Structure 1
Amino acid sequence: MSDTGVAGNPDQSGNAAPEQNWSYHPDGTRVLNIAGILRSRAGATPDAPAILQGADTTTYGELDARSSQVGRALIADGVAPGDRVAYVGVNAPSFLEVLYGAAKIGAIATALNNRLAPTELDGILRDARPAVLVQGVGEPAVRPDAHPWLRRVVTSDDYIGWMGPHPAADPGFEAAPHDPAVVFYTSGTTGLPKGIMLTGDNMSQALAVLHHDAGFDSTSVAMAPIPFFHISGFGIAVVATLNGSALLLETETEPHALVELLVGRRVSHAAVVPTLVQRMVDVPAASTADWSSLKYLIYGSAPMPLPVIQRATAIFGCRFLSSYGLTESNGGVTILRPEDHFPEAGREQQLRSVGRVMSGVELVVVDPVTLQRVPVGVKGEVLIRGGHVMLGYWDNPAATAAAITPDGWLRTGDGGSFDDQGYLYLHDRLKDMIVSGGENVFPAEVESALTAHPAVAEIAVIGIASPTWGESPYAIVVRRPGHLLREQELIDFARERLAHFKCPVGVEFVASLPRNASGKLLKNRLREQYRG
């Protein structure tokens, strides 16, 4: 794409001082790699709480020492700089120990989704080819002999015996800022896994807004209910370390219990979904609880209605932050700041936006065919450029070339438009993606799996509104002539092949699917029909 485009839609970017575009250690030096984040924090506040879980507290000094033991254990297993070290499991201290331990020897931490079906996880392992796989509590067995590149599988039962005997001396590796530091896996629209490589420089820039502007400090307690294998959950965990905050590894999904947890644990920063906030303000105990510790509620994936913001502000007394981004952009590239949540009269629509572009990021909206910029108010594809953008897809140069233009623009596949104040609005997803409880679900992947059922002739998967998850997959199916197929049978078929969050919550059987004259499936018509 040319750097000169259609008038009326110039590059959008923030105007903070350049130094605010980066994250910094307690001694004022710039963050260059992941290992340095923990090293510097442990040096500054070794006795401060790093992780809270039940009755257990892990200090920064302890986290630093244990991650060094993990690094030494990896070296003993023959892991070298550039090798992948994978972790699969729920949020736990061991995830952070493995993350920082791998970073201390120059290995690439690879965060895997423990909600995937075994066949899906197997496909990612074959792509990443990790030297060591560490499993959290309750994860199913993985046979090392099924993956010849695996030197060791460390189960939760083996973990202490594996890392414990090694000394807590830091291995001392210093990764270069542009080296791959971590790989996150995301499914493509074809269902093929792609590993997203992020660097120390990416992290330093992507964490800057939360680092500087969200009030994290040594008195903060951050609650991260989002899995660490998601970039948003990972980001909260790492910025907590960077700023010396305590990370609470407890969460609740039921509103009454969540209110008790937030108040009882004196949480200062919590990541939530808007539907849960709406349910929390309806809890009678919330209006009389002591919310003096709560500073910020951080949300994404859906807008927060103004009446909910007003009620939540009156009850909780906190501020709100929202953003938009992708794993490929290391999380947020726009931000809807606290002051944006109380728009001037006539500007209420900005609450449906994802905010303005963060400092240090370039973001444009273009015609998806010509890649020429479109005027303000016109829908197009969102493109992103700058230090937040991934290094590329792991071992997949073709996918990298398709996603990033020769002059560095990341094609998001998301439809959007700017207003005249620089607020970005997202429209139809060009990639046809469903966001269910923060998980990305690609209809093409679900459709491909369910088409394998002998009774399915045609299928279309769309997202329908869910009060709990925001959206859920829903299948519209044409049966093959002469075949009987019931709703639960097809859902069970899906659950044998796909992660449960990808499976349809309902099925409707129809005589035919709507198509245009050329035979193209009219999914927009289906979305309108099933909009609830």
Structure 2
Amino acid sequence: MSNPHDRELPAPMFEGAQEREVANVASLLRQSAAATPDEAALREESGDTTYAELDERSNRAANAFAALGVGVGDRIAIVSANNHYFMELVFAAAKLGAIAAPINTRLSAVEIEKLLSTAEPKVLFVGAEATEQTPPEGAVPSLAVTLTPQSYDELIATADATDPGYEASADETAILLFSSGTTGLPKGIPLNGRNLSTSLYGSGDRLKVEGHQISMAPVPFFHVTGLTSALGTIGKGGTLLLKMPTGPKDLMRLLIEEKVTNAVGVPTLIQMLTQLPEAKGADWSHLQYFGYGGAPMPLPVIKAAREILGCELVQGYGLTETSAAVTVLMPEDHVPAPGREKQVGSVGRPLEGVEIKIVDPATREEVAVGERGEVWVRSSRVTPGYWNRPEENSRSFTDDRWFATGDGGSVDEEGYLYLHDRIKDMIVTGAENVYPAEVESVITGHPDVSEVAVIGIPSPKWGESPYAIIVPRPGTTPDADEIIAWTREQIAHYKAPVGITFTDVLPRNPNGKLLKRVLRDQYADVQAPQ
């Protein structure tokens, strides 16, 4: 690793116009390493990794894995925080024609083992922070080797530094990501070269960063937003800042000290930044764009962000299945003309090459402009289908390649998309998606619980947090804190409820269907603890 340095290069593209033809993930690094070998690709607390170093270390890893029998189409699972190991593994897999399979580090050991059984990797890398989630030896029969940072460094130290030279086609799977499942196992979502290339470079929007790009995405790379942000920065020869903030004040410090040019985060993060007293007098001159997603930004927060941070705002809407954003609310849309304030509450218009329509979930027929229904997407950004889930594929993808997102929305006369009720009842907590059905299934297993409903409540820190309404089992006196702690032993902490209310009965319609909209109204004033 080299020492940090501060150097400016001609401006690459932040989003949009393609400066180079990128056929696959390996090409992103190969071309940048050839163009700017001494430039910092990754910046961590321990120092910088140059493009030449990242290229060489990923070559060594690829050749070491090949010696272990890893070949085209084999999976390399990654359970790690954002660091140079993560990026090396992604590019090592690409240079072999293998498939990088990042897994959420916040999942429990049991959940991780289930996902590994689905992915059937030959190699598993477990970061230092995730050692407790390592599956027992023999639990995943497909594994040839399980690596820690130390054993990984030892493995690649003497490996050949020559690029294996594999050139993946556009249709070959490059990355296997996972989404939270409503019930049972989460779905594997394969993204191929065409999906990722279109997502990274296929937009007709031109948002230029002046000077050398320094990107910060304090979002885990096992999420599509974090991973595509990282890949996009590498593909454009920028510097990817891997220092993770510990809170809003630390985020502000990093943005300013590291001269970050573009960042990505959730709206609550931007709001917290604007509320820091010291933010008003700070030097934000390097920050040019702040991208956000997950929810619209209130007008007062937009105004404060533009006045205090002085940067342009860009909102994106998308899913893992769509390789991140398919619609964008552009900077000019955040400064609405009189009579156009409504569109600030949208998630923008479709990107180039993206088709969106709203359909009736029951009939699957397209509805009229302005009417609500389910959001459907068609684009080369969309995954070819779920990993070994034929029944789910038949439900979610049509023969003519429309993808049913499960999100409720409507489109206005100018093509702006508005999200409404979540058809899948998904709760968005920070950058994590939580499905109430999964949480309810776990809580129902508690001996003191007869029935449970989980809804999202406002959270000052995370946007939303899960909240449980429980009907106790007759003859029991359940304790809320004990149930929360018990739930956290079964599933990831962020999925567990932050609070519980006990009730005698849950609201249902005459057919017995649970009325969650009634619960949302009843608990509309409840907020998650700070």
TM-score, normalization by structure 1 = 0.93
Quote the Cα distance in structure 1 between the aligned partners of 2:57 and 2:195: 25
**CA–CA distance in structure 2, aligned partners of residues 517 and 300 of structure 1:** 38
2:85 aligned residue (94, 98, 101):
94
21 and 224 in structure 1: CA distance in 2 versus 1, 3 angstrom threshold = closer
Query: Residue deviations 1:30-53, cap 9 Å, x none?
Result: 211101111111111111110001
Q: Deviations over 1:351-384 (max 9, x none)?
A: 1110001110111001112111111110011000
Identical aligned residues as a percent: 48
- Note the C-alpha offset of 1:179: 0.6
Comparing 209-218 with 249-258, which one deviates more in the overlay? 209-218
Contact 2:79 2:125 survives alignment (8 Å): yes
Number of residue pairs matched by the alignment: 510
Equivalent residue runs for 1:361-376 within 5 Å: 361-376=354-369
Q: Within 2, Cα distance between the matches of 1:72 and 1:486?
A: 54
What is the alpha-carbon distance in structure 1 between the residues aligned to residue 333 and residue 246 of structure 2? Answer: 27
Matched residue, 2:473: 480
1:297 paired with 2:290, answer: yes
**What does the per-residue CA deviation read over 1:65-122, in whole Å, with 9 as the maximum and x for residues that have no partner?**
1110110111011101010111001101001100000100100110110100111101
1:445 aligns with 2:438: yes
2:45 to 50, 54, 58: 54
Residue of structure 1 aligned with 2:108, choices 117, 120, 123: 117
Corresponding residue SS for 2:96: coil
Q: Which residue pairs with 2:451 in the alignment?
A: 458
Which of residues 162, 167, 189 in structure 2 aligns to 1:196?
A: 189
SS of the aligned residue for 2:187 comes to strand
Q: How does 1:75-90 map to 2 (within 5 A)?
A: 75-90=66-81
Matched residues in 1 for 2:199 and 2:440: separation?
A: 34
SS in 2 for 1:138: helix
Secondary structure of 1:202's counterpart equals: helix
Cα distance in 1 for partners of 2:135, 2:183 equals 25
Determine the structure 1 residue equivalent to 2:7: none
Change (3 A) 1:209 1:222: farther
Which residue of 139, 145, 150 maps to 1:146? 139
Asked whether the 8 Å contact 2:327–2:351 carries over to 1, the reply is yes
The secondary structure found in structure 1 opposite 2:370 is coil
- Displacement after TM superposition at 1:326 (Å): 0.6
| Residue of structure 2 in register with 1:9 after alignment | none
Q: Hey, what's the Cα distance between the residues in 1 that align with 2:498 and 2:263?
A: 28
Is contact 2:16-2:203 (8 Å) kept? Answer: no
Query: Offset at 1:284?
Result: 2.1
Residues 115, 499 of structure 1: 8 Å contact kept: yes
Is this contact kept in 2: 1:22–1:207, CA < 8 A?
A: yes
CA pair 366-21 structure 1, distance change in 2 beyond 3 A: farther
Aligned pairs for 1:201-216 (under 5 A) are 201-208=194-201, 213-216=206-209
- For 2:148 and 2:45, the matched residues in 1 are separated by 22
Q: Which secondary structure state, in structure 1, belongs to the residue aligned with residue 296 of structure 2?
A: coil
Q: Are the counterparts in 2 of residues 218 and 245 from structure 1 also a CA contact under 8 Å? A: no
* CA distance in structure 1 between the partners assigned to 2:112 and 2:82 by the alignment: 17
Alignment of 1:285-434 (within 5 A): 285-434=278-427
CA change 1:210–1:265 in 2 (3 A) is: farther
Shift of 1:251: 2.5
Aligned-pair CA distance for 1:254 = 2.2
- For 1:133, the aligned partner's letter is L
Q: Distance in 2 between matches of 1:210 and 1:90?
A: 29
Q: 1:225 to 1:163 in 2, by over 3 A?
A: same
The residue number in structure 2 matching 1:263 is 256
How far does residue 23 in structure 1 lie from its aligned partner after superposition?
Answer: 6.8
CA contact (8 A) 1:86 1:132 kept: yes
Change (3 A) 1:69 1:504: same
Contact 2:15–2:208 at 8 Å: present in 1 too? no
- Kept in 2: contact 1:180–1:391 (CA 8 A): no
3-state DSSP class of the match of 1:464?
strand
Q: Contact between 1:23 and 1:31, CA under 8 Å: does it hold in 2?
A: no
**How do residues 134-173 of structure 1 correspond to structure 2 at under 5 angstroms?**
134-139=125-130, 140=132, 141-173=134-166
Match of 1:3 in 2: none
Does the 8 Å CA contact 1:211/1:242 hold for their aligned counterparts?
no
Q: CA deviation at 1:401?
A: 1.8
Check the 8 A contact 1:380/1:416 in 2, yes or no: yes
How far apart are 1:212 and its partner, in Å?
A: 6.0
Q: 2:57 aligns with which of 46, 66, 70?
A: 66
Q: Which position in structure 1 is the counterpart of 2:489? A: 496
Decide which moves more: 281-290 or 101-110: 281-290
Structure 1 residue runs of 5 or longer lacking an equivalent are 1-19
Q: Give the Cα–Cα distance (whole angstroms) in 2 for the partners of residues 264 and 319 of structure 1.
A: 19
Q: What is the CA–CA distance in structure 2 between the aligned matches of 1:386 and 1:149, rounded to whole Å?
A: 34
Partner of 1:185: 178
Q: Is the 8 A contact 2:109 2:135 kept in 1?
A: no
SS in 2 for 1:463: strand
Amino acid corresponding to residue 395 of structure 2 in structure 1: A
Residue 229 in structure 1 maps to residue 222 in structure 2:
yes
Query: Per-residue CA shift, 1:480-524, capped at 9, x if unaligned?
Result: 110121101110110010000100000000010001111111100
**1:31 and 2:22 aligned:** yes
Query: Corresponding residue for 2:524?
Result: 531
Partner SS state of residue 378, structure 2: strand
Q: Residue type of the partner of 2:275?
A: D
Unaligned runs of 5+ in 2: 1-13, 526-530
Partner AA of 2:54 in structure 1: L
Deviations 1:274-300 (A, max 9, x none): 122222122222111111100001101
Partners of 2:179 and 2:407 lie apart in 1 by 16
1:201-247 deviation digits (Å, cap 9, x = unpaired):
10111112679633257601101210000000001100000111100
Asked if structure 1 preserves the Cα contact closer than 8 Å seen for 2:209 and 2:288, the reply is: no
> d(CA) in 2 for partners of 1:218 and 1:124?
41
Specify the code of the residue in structure 1 equivalent to 2:119: A
Amino acid at match of 1:489: E
Higher mean displacement: 253-262 or 418-427: 253-262
For 2:53, give the aligned amino acid. E
Amino acid at match of 2:103: L
Report what 2:33 is aligned to: 42
Structure 1 residues 464 and 137 mapped into 2: Cα distance closer, same or farther (>3 Å)?
Answer: same
